[in-house]
Chain A
Amino acid sequence: MSKTTTDDSHRAADDTSKAADDQDLGAAGSQLSTAPTEDAPNLPSLGVIGWARWFWRQLTSMRVALLLLLLLSLGAIPGSLIPQTGIDETAVADFRERHDVLAPLYDKLGLFHVYSSVWFSAIYILLFVSLIGCIVPRTWQFVGQLRGRPPGAPRRLTRLPAHTTWRTEAEPEAVREAALALLKKRRFRAHLAGDAVAAEKGYLREVGNLLFHIALIVMLIAFGWGQLFKSEGNKLIVEGDGFANTLTQYDDFKSGSLFTNDDLEPFSFDVKEFTGTYERTGPNKGTPRTYQSELTYTEGADGKEKTALVKVNKPLEIGDAKVYLVSHGYAPVITVRDGKGKIVYRDAVPLLPLDANVTSSGVVKVLDGYRNPGGEKEQLGFNAFFVPTFGGSAAGTMLSQFPALDYPVLALSAYHGDLKADSGIPQSVYQMDKTKMKEFKDAEGELFKKLLTPGETMTLPDGAGSVTFEKDVREWAGFQIVQEPGGGWALGGAVAAIAGLAGSLFIQRRRVWVRAVRGEDGVTVVEMAGLGRSESAKVPEELGDLAGILYDRAPAAPDPSPDPTDSTDTATDPEAVPAEGAEK
């Protein structure tokens, strides 16, 4: 019984001294990072303000930041698996058609536009509120640390993760002086506090960390700004034609919710020439070697004319706008004559490519001016199929063999009637509404169609006229014109984020203390200890280095036996394990 009591009291005494020690150590390690301390989520007792404060505390805690980050990554997943309107409208339409139960549900949840949905926005807005709530106090705290001084040495340096000690005949003041000079020379912030020198280094870690988190906010704002004011449109232009940057000129156009037409950068350009050359042999046969378009452009309403070369990965930048070359194809020049030989149509008809070798298709529409042999007004339509390099009739395929104009062949099939162009519904220039069109028939009663090489003419049946494939195949280039403000800020933020991250992850923030006091026997005892934010091999290494230099200036005194400092050491650490197993 009595034995238990002594045991207990012993343990209690142990506990108090340990608690004091821990407190002492806690102070030494305090604010080695400006990370918020985690307090247990105790519920507030007081009214609205109490709750608000509690909520704010929670929101800005590391734990909640962690959960919000997890939520953000989880929330991003559906957007990659479900078709998104912002990426592929047709895939969404397709999905709607196939899933009549799921689709309305998805609509309700915003799953067709995850990244602009309410719930996804809520996650990242909360995260960024949390981030700001985290950054502001940490910045103040850090400024405070920069103005203050590293905390003084804890009572027992031997309890720190790395320490060393020796006895020397040098005076304690001299040792401290030498230590202070040494640490300062090593670019520590050092000062004398009582019987010890306190020093700290690696503040750039905190700078880097704050920079990184602030850069994240800059990037988010820049990205959001860009999305709101963004505009994006496509325009297909045949060589020789031009474009002015106004809404009406686009083939299709999309814009962010705060975009207004006045935001369009004023400029215009003409396409002088498109050049495409292709690899002739080898595994890369058919790959574009040059793929570029020569433009002349003017900035503003009446700027000076300049020339530019636009390539696939090299857009033309005009103000906030970028002009991308995104596609290319052929536009054969076609002449249509009526039965009397009068030209009713002559134009370069842009055709859309179907494959990498630019097998192309499209439609020729003769809307006005044609009268059939009976003298009635009619419209003509031709389905066109074009290959720049025909495989020859023996090849048995109408697919192009090579993307360049080696052996161009145009195939046409002919219709007449009403193209319904004035029905008020906007029509694609690449498609023909055949509901009111009749086929021209050949001798066998089949659809009238023919293969033409440049210069050839096909005569329509029954004196209906003729169609000529001129010896002039132009090329067209498809341009995407994008205006997305804030790109510079996003890039700047990104660079700052990487720099900050590198600082935050590669720089060690650590403290070193050097205590020199006269021992009981009058000989000076030097104690050195190091403390890092995490246990890193660097801290003991650096400490050893510093100790080595200091030791040279304050060499060991002859050991009295038994050594007093050593004995305290062995008292706490009776079984020092040899270095072999130590961390590398």
Chain B
Amino acid sequence: MTLAAATDLAAAANENLAEISNVLVYSAMAVYTLAFFAYIAEWTFGSRSKVARTAAALSPKAGAEARKAPAVTVQQAGGTAVLERPKVVVRAATGSRDVPDGPGAHGGDEKGDLYGRIAVSLTVLAFCLSFGGVLTRALSVERAPWGNMYEFNITFSTTAVGVYLLLLALKKDIRWLGLFLTTTVLLDLGLAVTVLYTESDQLVPALHSYWLYIHVSTAILCGAVFYVGAVGVILYLFKDAYENKLAGGGKPGSFATSVLERLPAAASLDKFSYRVNAAVFPLWTFTIIAGAIWAGDAWGRYWGWDPKEVWSFITWVAYACYLHARATAGWKGRKAAYLALLAFGCWLFNYYGVNIFVSGKHSYADVGLSALGSVGF
């Protein structure tokens, strides 16, 4: 075989891989769509029988009762075989509403639960497909799959779903997140394959560094986790408004009731999003620092106020604001939640806005000396 034939073969193999990657991404979208419908079925067929409790606990009369009796008994599963362990009584902090969590999207209904399980299984399948899509894309370009926005998008949604499945695997009760997640994942992938699609191409030399792998992979992971946190925050804001309305004697619409009743209590959603955001904040700090180290090696300065660096910094400060707000009287609750959304907005802008509207060193193009002279040819 001649050299030329061998190289042709290699090129063909790469093209094939890129082709396979595209097919996998499209299949993943198809399965996500099925999962989406399964989640819808879970919400639709889930009965509302067990749900009524929340509403009851919050109706004006019962509301007063609930505040006077804010106790939830938890049976601790201990290590030793003594059955009659002392019970630990847990109560909410004084002044906070004490509302039990909703039963989840299935509404405690067996059929709904079945659809929910199907939905999760489909999500797992779609996750595997999109993971395969990312992997084959990486193989086809012979580098990490995040050299452009298309690759970043497909990696991002894969990671976000991965975080969700991981939390489920850790027995966290967050299946209610599934519908919102698959919806946005579909949007994200749709955007990726239509607007952002880029043929597999090469990286400029400055992008060759193991710091790239560290920096970008943690950035994507942080984004995915921040996203999960942001969904929690949005649901918190809705649920909190709903609970307020109920406690104030109002009567929310039946659709709002049907959706919000099943979600965890506002306090739980708030706590969930706080934990998610707080847990990933050190990693985000690390991401920025890894980026600075990389920039130090590649561009000769570790911090140069490049637009991407500026927006990472803004995002970081905004999340620090949120964490501070949680520790500051008068800023807890809704105000802090708005800050969290603002912070996630900064993250989004850092990704889409800066890539599209602002040019900087991170535009992944023309590195090196720009041409000073031109010739009359």
Residues of A within 8 A of B (CB): 22, 25, 33, 35, 38, 62-63, 65-66, 69-70, 72-73, 76-77, 79-81, 84, 86-87, 114-115, 158-166, 223, 232, 279-288, 291, 312-315, 322, 324, 326-329, 352-354, 356, 361-363, 383-385, 398, 411, 413, 428, 430-432, 447, 449, 478, 480, 482, 484, 487, 490-491, 494, 497-498, 501-502, 505-506, 528, 534-535, 540-541, 543-545, 547-549, 551-552, 556, 569, 573-584
Contacts and interface: CB of A to CB of B under 8 A. Distances in A.
Nearest to A234: B369
Contacts of B377: 385, 398, 411, 413, 449
A283 B141 contact: yes
Contact of A163 (B89, B302, B323, B325): B89
Contacts of B373: 352, 361-363, 383, 428, 430-432
Contacts of B327: 33, 35, 62
Given A283-B14, A352-B369, A582-B74, A38 B300 contact: no
22 contacts: A73-B314, A73-B317, A86-B305, A158-B89, A279-B202, A282-B10, A283-B141, A284-B142, A313-B211, A352-B371, A353-B369, A356-B204, A383-B373, A494-B292, A501-B281, A535-B93, A548-B78, A548-B80, A548-B85, A575-B65, A578-B72, A579-B75
Contacts of A535: 92-93, 271
Contact of B205 (A162, A164, A288, A579): A288
Interface of B: 7, 10-11, 14, 18, 53, 65, 68-76, 78-80, 82, 84-94, 100-101, 140-143, 171-173, 200-206, 208-209, 211, 264-265, 267-268, 271, 278-279, 281-282, 285-286, 289, 292-294, 296-298, 300-307, 310-311, 313-314, 317-318, 320-321, 323-325, 327-331, 346, 354, 358, 360, 368-369, 371-377
A175 B100 CA distance: 35
B268 A162 contact: no
A556 B302 CA distance: 64
A384 B375 contact: yes
A482 B300 contact: yes
A222 B267 CA distance: 41
B82 A540 contact: no
A87 B172 contact: no
A447 B377 CA distance: 10
Nearest to B65: A575
Contacts of B324: 62, 65-66, 69
Contact of A548 (B76, B206, B325, B360): B76
A279 B173 CA distance: 50
A38 B286 contact: no
Given A63-B330, A284-B202, A353 B371 contact: yes
A402 to B, nearest CB: 13
A488 to B, nearest CB: 11
Nearest to A74: B314
B314 to A, nearest CB: 5
Which 7 pairs across A and B sit closest by C-beta, in order of nearness? A581-B100, A544-B76, A548-B78, A281-B7, A573-B71, A80-B310, A73-B317
Which among B74, B292, B297, B313 has the highest number of chain A CB atoms within 10 Å? B74
Contacts of B84: 556
B321 A66 contact: yes
B282 A505 contact: yes
Given A76-B317, A164-B87, A164-B89, A573 B371 contact: no
Contacts of A72: 317
Nearest to B278: A505
